[in-house]
Amino acid sequence: MLEIISGSSVKKLDADFIADRGISSHRLMENAAQAFCGWFEKKYHRNDKVGIFCGHGNNGGDGLAIGRLLWRKGYDIIVFLVGDFDRASADCRLNRELLPDKLPAITMNDEDIKHMEFDLNVVIDAVLGIGVNRPLEGNILHMITKLNGLSEVSKVAVDIPTGLPSDECLKGEAFRADVTVSFQFPKFSLMFPEHAAFVGKLHVVNIGIDRNFLSQFSENKFYLQKKDVVDRHISFSRFSHKGDFGRVLLAGGSYGSMGAIKMSAEAALRTGSGLAACLVPQCGVNIIQIALPEAQVLSAESENNLGKSYPQDSLKRFDAIGVGPGMGTNSDAVSFLKDFFTRYHGPKVIDADAINILAKEKELLNELDENCVLTPHLKEFERLVGACTNHKERLSKSMVFSKKYRCIVVLKGAHTCISFPDGRQFFNSTGNKHMATGGAGDVLTGMITSFLGQGYSVENATLCGVYQHGLAGEIASVYKKRGTIATDIVRAIPKSYLVLKID
């Protein structure tokens, strides 16, 4: 698993790695530059006019090395030096000396920054990296503001956009990248939604520091990638029958919100459940039977919301239950949830209105079973724990919540964060903005519930569910883009298995 390490530990990590491997720091910088160029060559054409803006630290050193390597490969490169090069780091200095004489390198003073017109197709930002220790000001601020104002230019940040602190929320301005190419692991602050406009798309390149080495610096934060989930899947045999694939129940729905539970159940079936049933109020029975003939339907006695009277004895038939989508929060729904918590202690996913009820009826939190999975989006989470001033605070509160109630918290959004009671946090790498559409969360509930029902451990069900849900969203939106809707994500689940090569 790929560790996410704080910026303050990176210096020590680099130093230890260099000592351990007997290589020079220059070699490591060269590896980083080569890894960047490997990515760059796949994206940009040699006709592009590329400006590389370099500072005087090691990020600038990376930029200078990138300039040299791309120039040698025939790219049209201009290097702009921004910063105090009398104080340049040793590797930055060395890479400046290594610049070929014919490669144009222009030192930028404040007047140049004000007046220079840039004729570029691509801007590479290597002014500051994780060494930033104060808000941008002066020369650098003017340069970054000017670069941010350039239109029709592709903007790429090296390691981290200039100005963005690696582990904190941004104060002031930063480079607004279209793509950030981060070295070895994504820096923590690249996971914060506040920084979306600065990070752009995120790409991580390997610079040769192996995972075992990184794990010595573990801070219990991980970036969840394909290789982390593939082996967590259960294989089924040729003789498997539908019982092996699990029976799951999705409980929720209310008058006007029946689609939510239908989508959860359909997602569970598409994820492979042997049997999916819906528990809905009376008004939902016909709807579900018509909309999803593959699902069984259990009905509560009440007309419009789930209530206290429902087929309670049936609960024990199910290997896992997802509760909450479309359920409503009125008194009937509250009494249903209270009763449900006392009766069902198997694997379960608690989502949407079930979370909203927990937020209103805090004493119910004490009824949460160990290892249940809660899947709040940011607003639902804040209803649960109170307002947060920024994402860093939210992440830390989700860890506290997970430890306190011994449950798994799936804090949804871009880079969904999964917190486990033992202190680990996983940040998802799949998904995109086209998943920000009504019902996408209901699909996730169905998927995690399905994996739980198939016999996955709660850890594996959650990690596989979150990763594959994002993957299905990516597949669904390839052509549909912002026209993607939640049922498209459901329909893309089978293809996500093909991508993962799991049958």
Ligand X SMILES: Nc1ncnc2c1ncn2[C@@H]1O[C@H](COP(=O)(O)OP(=O)(O)O)[C@@H](O)[C@H]1O
Binding-site ranges for ligand NAX (CB under 6 A): 10, 14, 28-29, 32, 55, 57-62, 87, 89, 128-134, 136, 140, 158-160, 183-184, 207
Least Å from the CB of residue 412 to ligand X: 4
503 is in an annotated binding site: no
Share in percent of the chain as helix, strand, coil (round to 5): 45, 15, 35
320 binds, among K ion, ligand X, ligand NAX, none (CB under 5 to 8 A by kind): none
Alpha-carbon distance 142 to 251, whole Å?
56
Size of the site for K ion (CB under 5 A): 5
- The two tokens of residue 248 are 């799951």
Q: Which does 263 bind (CB under 5 to 8 A by kind): K ion, ligand NAX, ligand X, none?
A: none
Residue 125 labeled ligand binder: yes
Helix axes 486-500, 259-271, angle to 10 degrees: 10
In whole angstroms, the minimum distance from the beta carbon of 203 to ligand X comes to 15
Q: With respect to ligand X, which residue has the nearer C-beta, 91 or 474?
A: 474
Of the candidates 324, 313, 366, the one whose C-alpha atom is nearest the C-alpha of residue 349 is 324
DSSP for residue 208: S
**Measuring CA to CA, how many Å separate 41 from each of 2, 71, 123, 336?**
25, 12, 14, 58
Q: Is 356 annotated as a binding residue?
A: no
| 138, burial (CB in 10 Å: exposed 0-12, middle 13-18, buried 19+) | exposed
Verify binding: residue 411, ligand X, rule CB under 6 A. Answer: no
Residue 353: CB partners within 8 Å, gap ≥ 6?
252, 324, 325, 326, 327, 328, 329, 333
435 binds ligand X (CB under 6 A): yes
125 is a contact residue toward K ion (CB under 5 A) = yes
Helices vs. strands in the chain: H and E counts, helices first: 18, 18
Q: Which stretch binds K ion (CB under 5 A): 20-28, 59-67, 319-327, 404-412?
A: 59-67
In this chain, which of 440, 464, 492, 493 binds ligand X, going by CB under 6 A? 440
CB of 130 to K ion, least distance (A): 9
Tokens 């790498």 belong to residue: 429
Which positions from 154 through 213 interact with K ion, judged by CB under 5 A? 157-158, 162
Helix (H) or strand (E) segment spanning residue 348: strand 348-351
**Annotated binding-site ranges:** 58-62, 125, 129-135, 159, 162, 260, 326, 377, 412-416, 441-442
Binding site for ligand X (CB under 6 A): 352, 377, 412-414, 416, 431-433, 435-436, 438-442, 444, 469-470
Residue ranges for the binding site for K(+)?
A: 59, 125, 162
Binding residues for (6S)-NADPHX: 58-62, 129-135, 159, 260, 326, 377, 442
